[in-house]
Structure 1
C-alpha cells in the first residue's frame, strides 16, 4: 500500500472514533452527556462520589475508593461501585478504567463513560438491571470476601 492510502485509512479510523465518542462532563454537580444533563453527582469527599437520577432524585450509584487501611501501601487498594437500586456491589483493583492523576472529577467522568460504553447506564441516565449483572460478572473481583481481617 502506498503511504497516501495508509494515511487515508488511518484518518478514516480516527475520525470514526471521534464521531462515535460521547463527551461526558461533570460540572456543578451535574453529569452532562454531550451537553444534556443525565445524572446528578455529589462529591462526598476525595474518595467517594454518589450519582442520582434526574426523575426522582434516587441515589443509584455510589463510588468509593478503599485504601484497605494501609494508606502508604497502594498495592492492596481497590474501588467499590455500589449499584444501590439493584443491590449489587462491584469491587475491583483495575483502576485503568477510571484512573486520573489527582483529579477525582475527571476520574468520575471516565467512570460514567465506562458505564455508558458497557450499557450499564443509558443516555437518559437510567440503570439497565440486566447489564448491571453482566458488568458484575465481568469486573467484580470479590475483594472483601477474599481479604483476611
Structure 2
C-alpha cells in the first residue's frame, strides 16, 4: 500500500509540475500570468504570434479548408515559423481543435509548443526543437497535393 501511495503522489506531483496555464487575453499570451508572446487574430482562420524582445512575428498559424468548406476530411493547418523559415502542415486537428473558439484553440497550440519545447517559458523559439517538431508532425500536404 505504501508503494501505491508513493506512486500516486508522484503522478499527482508531476502533473501539477508540468501543467501550465496558458491564456490569451487582450492580444497577450500569458503563461501562468506572465506574458511570453503577443498574439494577433487576423481572422477566424489565422493567428500571428510576436516576440516580446523585438516585436518580430515569429509564428503564423493558418487553417486551410482546402477550398472545400463543406468537406472537412481534407482540412489541415499550417504552422509557419517565420524567423526559422520552417513550415509545418498537419491534418491532426485534434492537437489544436476547440469547437468554435479560435482563442481556446490557440491556447491549446501554445501549450503543445511548450510541451514539445519549441517555445520556452520566455516565449523564445528553440530552432533545434522546431526541426524535431517538423520531423514528428509535418505531413507535407502542399507538395504532395495536385492542384
By the TM > 0.5 criterion, same fold? yes
Alignment of 1:61-140 (within 5 A): 61-140=59-138
Unaligned 5+ runs, structure 2: none
**SS of 2:99 mapped into structure 1:** coil
Unaligned 5+ runs, structure 1: none
Q: What number of residue pairs does the alignment pair up?
A: 147
* Counterpart Cα distance in 2 of 1:138 and 1:16: 24
- After TM superposition, the score normalised by the length of structure 2 is 0.93
* Counterpart Cα distance in 1 of 2:69 and 2:22: 30
Runs of 4+ in 1 over 4 A off after TM superposition: 4-9
* Counterpart Cα distance in 2 of 1:47 and 1:124: 26
**SS of 1:86 mapped into structure 2:** coil
Alignment of 1:9-88 (within 5 A): 9-10=7-8, 12-88=10-86
Moved more, 9-18 or 120-129: 9-18
**SS of 2:83 mapped into structure 1:** helix
- RMSD (Å) for aligned C-alpha atoms: 1.5
Query: Is the helix fraction higher in 1 or 2?
Result: 1
**SS of 1:37 mapped into structure 2:** strand
C-alpha displacement of 1:39: 0.2
* Counterpart Cα distance in 2 of 1:7 and 1:76: 46
